[in-house]
Chain A
Amino acid sequence: MKNYLLNIFVLLAICSCTVSKPENAEIVNEQPPIYPDYIGVTIPVEIAPLDFDYNGGEFETMYVLAKGSNGGELSAGGTTIEFDIDDWHELTRKNQGGNISMTVYVKKDGKWKQYQDFNVFVSNYPLEEWGLTYRRIAPGYEVYGKLGLYQRDLSNFDETPIIENTSVAGACFNCHTSNRTNPDQFTFHVRGDHGATMVQQNGNREWLKARNDSLHGSMVYPYWHPSGKYCAYSTNQTHQSFHAVRGERIEVFDQASDVFVYDPNTHELLLDTLLMTPDHYETYPVFSPDGKTLYFCSSEAKPIPSEYKEIRYNICKIDFNAENGTYGEKIDTVFNASILGKSATHPRPSYDGKYIMFTLSDYGCFPIWHNEADNWILNLKTGEAKPMKEANSSQTDSWHNWNINSHWFVFTSRRGNGLYTRLYLAQIDDHGNISKPFLLPQKNPATYYDALIDSYNTPDFTSRKVEFDSHSAAREITSENRIPTTVK
């Protein structure tokens, strides 16, 4: 509802202020200071318009001319740049594989200035997804206020809630995960008084008991098997504590964690002693795209909290047989972060089987609160791992996911102000070259992001809009009817 009203306001605002192309503007030999920094980014065709604001101090108005290398032209003007969505899509379609050159004019003290043109590259790789799913929550400590799981149409600015905790007072939702971006199968957790793990398959919802006596804790960090027959989870005893010095805020650590696979058809848990070792913490399970390998992170168990800075995770793997739901007999280390004195978490295999993207931090299992955390990429063919310098920043860069053709990825970053995570998208080409990431487009972005006091969590692509009956779900959450899981 708010969006509709906002659209009306914006429409009125656009109608009331039109700016024509300035004449005799003074040429300025520098790139325009704009927010977000879209200079030189690469975008997919039909992404939402890259609306932006002037970030160079007081000004009166501005004007932008966008010209495609393969033709087409678009202009916008005012105190914030808002391109018409349909015209923008047409321009990106026309210039796929080319670029859009932006000429920015800014009027200050009654005089127009023309900045150096900058390019926005339009990728040849299509974004095959409808949009993104994510959670929005204030970056807090222990108590949470309003939060929800949301979905965003990437071709425009529409965001709609999948479920918000206004529907169930006091509930917390997290870890929304679909199967390879397909929302026909997805799972999320409910925390709080009505705890459960929700599994929806083809519109049918099941609410699993949050805990099983055979596990050390709740079901956490899900990842679907590509066949859809299984879903891997970790089970974690996760705690948090708080730092005293200025540069640090929160430390989240596991005091026990294991990995297992859940069979939604039988409600059985497939456990294995290799994945539930008492002397190691296993977490963040993910399946390889062929479903034959289960990757996960593993760290030597050390006393917490006294040695929390010595906890370092490696990326490991074990074979998995989807036919009979059995595991291999040995664990292999895929990436040994601990010998680098680092900790590797959040592994995400690309769906084309080429890479594993992960987050590297100094220690621990929760890099979101680590300023030094960066995303890395491991080439599974060569075994080479390297930081994704083009996409990383000096602030926390962490949770990431691939789109289905594995040429786009979304990740969270605190580069904006050091605290509030925002979503960035970037491209990786056939040769592994990574483009400069761009901030998730918003209408009137400076105002939008300034006013937004939520962080974005656990983003993922979704091939189409998630269909979820939040009203029935809310009733089911409060009903306390839960399906118990059993150990196979």
Chain B
Amino acid sequence: MKKLISKYWTWALSLLLGVSVYLFWAYPYKSVLSYQEQYQLFLFGEDYFLERISLPGGLADYIAEFLTQFYYIPVFGAAILGVVFFCLQRLTWVVSRRCGADIQWFRLSFVPALILWMYMGDENVLLCFAISLLAALEFMLHYIIVCDHTKGYAAKALYILLCVPLVYWLFGANVLTFIGFVAFYELKREKSLSNLSLTSQFVLYTLLTILVSSYYLQYPLFRLYGGINYYRYPAYIPFLQITTMVLFAVFPILTSVLPKMKMRILEITEIAIIAVLGFYGVKASFNPQKYDLIEYDYLVRGEQWNKIIIKAKQKPADTPMSVSIVNLALSQREELADRLFEFYQNGAEGLFPSFTRDMVSPVPTSEIFYRLGMINDAERYAFEAQEAIPNYRKSGRLTKRIIDCEIINGNYGVARKHLKRLQKSMYYDTWAENRLVMLKDEKAINADPVYGKLRAFREKKQDFLFSDQEMDQMLGLLLTGNMENKMAYEYLISYELLQKDLDRFMEYYPLGQYISYNHIPKAIQEILIGNWMKTHSNPSSIPYSVDSSTLNTTLNFMSLYTKNPNSPDLNLVPYVNNAWHYMLISNSGMEKKEKEKMKDIY
């Protein structure tokens, strides 16, 4: 056993890294995989391949997108990342070993991979970067092999001459990582003037190769030198990306110059560095607030309404996006008007967050509009989110939603066009096939439980221009158009309550009698009780069907508040969950939602 361990311990540690990466993404961070998958749409077919390969780094991009599509099923995505990190670490060590690193320093070979893992805490880092690093390492290894098996300069010069443009075009700016390594390797190997000159020429050749390509490409130089498809945002190259590239380039040389020594303290130091980096570094690099939102969106995507509510119970949602998701989840469980005030509310923003020009927040808002039957607005938000993807990719999830809207609106030509694209995808093709068949059968569309219902809900007669300050009027039109639209009623009532507009609430709440309720929702009961008691002294005279616990809690709240509006007891359960707590104590909703300005074009 001891012999086995001493023989395979390096493999075991590498495997441990792969498994750690797998577990990390398969469990606590699986929502990130869904996030990555939903902002790209890999399509099979030569057009798509040619589109990718026509830019530097195109092959790495194509491979990365091909692999990222498997993130649709998180365990596959996590496994892919586990394998990528395993390979990165192994290759780093193989190159280091070929450079002369002692086995003593094996544990340090985890450092570049861990730095990359930390860098990937930024959700905009694309897998393409990791794939191209793998390629760069492979070409480094082959360079060493060429040097080891040939004499003189000719072979390696020929290798560089051929490989630099090849690596650049297929894998992008990580050609700089490759050539950086070559430079350090040569400087370490032979410090003669002629070798220095040759190395300089290698570096110059690489820089010129990239420069020459800029004349044929509509990209700024800094992006060609920094990688077109390594990072989702095109405006800059992150510092940590440059650090990672430099690290991968110099690491094999650095480890090769470390002395051969066998000291227990060194082993402990190595392990400590790796542990610190691996645990605290990775943990610190994943921004919990950001990933909280990503997880909320993931749960919406999977229609996991219960999990959303549980999550909000554990840690209150407090951003417009997360609050709106919690309210959406409540509405899908038909509990919004009952439990609205059990959760933190931030005014009408918590129902309909203001539109922002990004790819994230319009996605769940689109979901809200869609389920309400505001089909045009659902499509608009989905389309805008897709167009806001900074690296100009399309999205399978959003394309599906756009198609849903087009089908509901009867725009079959546009739906068919998008469906034909989805037919070329791996995970959306079956859905697309089914919808294409459905397009030929109007009855099937009307009979579809979702399409049929939303066709009945959507506004059919009275056209109006969207105004986010008149959401109640739009919801009112939706509701009067179809009194079975319970969600529209709950949003309408919630909108007035969150705006603290009790006059309009009193105007609209009676519409609830036409909705299929078996009781008056709790939030409505609380308001009705409080309102009644403003003008009456005897609670038994309340003409509404209210339950005793709601009545008692509301009366107690009123009594406490009348005695001392600042009483700390008011901020405890159950009073903190009473509608009147929001009305009288909470600052939310004090400022009415500012009217969204009309969209400037010019």
Q: A442: shortest Cβ distance to chain B, in Å? A: 12
Inter-chain contact B50/A6, CB cutoff 8 Å: yes
The distance in angstroms between the C-alpha atoms of A418 and B411, with both chains bound, is 7
Q: A167-B219, A168-B220, A249-B376 are contacts. A241–B54 as well, Cβ < 8 Å?
A: no
Complex: A245 Cα to B220 Cα, angstroms: 43
Knowing A141-B380, A163-B218, A417-B416, the reply to whether A217 touches B51 (Cβ < 8 A) is no
Q: Does A145 sit at the interface, judged by CB under 8 A? A: yes
Stretch in A24-32, A232-240, A355-363 touching the partner: A232-240
A232-271 residues with Cβ-Cβ distance < 8 A to B are 236-249, 251-252, 255
A339 to chain B, nearest CB (A): 25
Q: Closest B-chain residue to A8, C-beta based?
A: B50
B292 on the A face (CB < 8 A): no
Contacting residues, chain B, for A168 (C-beta < 8 A):
220
Q: Give the residue of B216, B386, B394, B474 whose beta carbon is less than 8 angstroms from that of A244.
A: B474
CA distance A6 to B375 in the complex (A): 38
Contacts of B408 in A (CB 8 A): 246
- Chain-A contact segment, one of B485-493, B551-559, B594-602: B594-602
Binds A, one of B79-87, B337-345, B458-466, B508-516: B458-466
Q: Is the CB of A166 within 8 A of B376?
A: no
For the complex, is B148 an interface residue (Cβ under 8 Å from A)? Answer: no
Does A243 lie within 8 Å of B463, measured CB to CB?
yes
How far apart are A158's CB and chain B's nearest CB, in angstroms? 14
Question: In the assembly, what is the distance between CA of A241 and CA of B599, in Å?
Answer: 7
CB-based contact A252/B601 at 8 Å: yes
Interface string of B29-59 (1 = CB under 8 A from A): 0000000000000000011001101110000
Nearest CB on A from B440, distance (A): 12
Q: Give the number of A-B contacts (CB < 8 Å).
A: 150
Interface mask (B358-384 → A, CB under 8 Å = 1, otherwise 0): 000000000000000011110010011
Question: In the bound complex, how far is the Cα of B277 from the Cα of A253, in angstroms?
Answer: 56
Kindly state whether residue A405 has any CB partner on chain B within 8 Å.
Answer: no
Given A148-B218, A419-B411, are A245 and B384 neighbors across the interface (CB < 8 Å)?
A: no
Interface size for B (C-beta < 8 A) is: 58
- Interface stretch (choices A223-231, A327-335, A445-453): A445-453
Which residues of chain A have C-beta atoms less than 8 A from B279's C-beta? none
Q: Is B11 an interface residue (CB 8 A)?
A: no
The answer to whether B592 has its CB under 8 Å from any CB of chain A is no
> Which residues from A are CB-within-8-Å of B466?
241-244
Given contact pairs A140-B383, A141-B383, A244-B376, A305 touches B458 in the complex (Cβ within 8 A): no
Say whether, besides A142-B384, A145-B388, A246 and B458 are in contact (CB < 8 Å).
yes
Give the residues from 406 to 443 in chain A that come closer than 8 angstroms, CB to CB, to chain B. 416-420
Interface size range on A against B:
35 or more
B574 at interface (Cβ–Cβ under 8 A)?
no
Interface residue A100 (Cβ < 8 Å from any Cβ of B): no
B536 adjacent to chain A (CB < 8 Å): no
Contact A305 B465 (CB under 8 A): yes
Question: Is A343 positioned at the interface, with any CB of B under 8 Å from its CB?
Answer: no
Residue A11 CB within 8 A of the other chain: no
Q: Would you call A146 an interface residue if the criterion is a C-beta within 8 Å of the partner chain's C-beta atoms?
A: yes
Q: Which 6 A-B pairs have the closest CB atoms?
A: A417-B413, A239-B598, A2-B54, A146-B392, A246-B409, A241-B465
Known: A141-B384, A245-B463. 6 other contacts (CB 8 A): A167-B219, A239-B601, A240-B598, A246-B375, A416-B413, A453-B417
Q: List 23 A-B contacts (CB under 8 A).
A: A5-B54, A138-B383, A140-B383, A140-B387, A141-B384, A143-B388, A148-B218, A163-B218, A217-B602, A236-B602, A237-B602, A241-B467, A242-B377, A243-B376, A243-B463, A244-B465, A245-B460, A305-B598, A418-B411, A419-B414, A450-B420, A451-B47, A453-B421
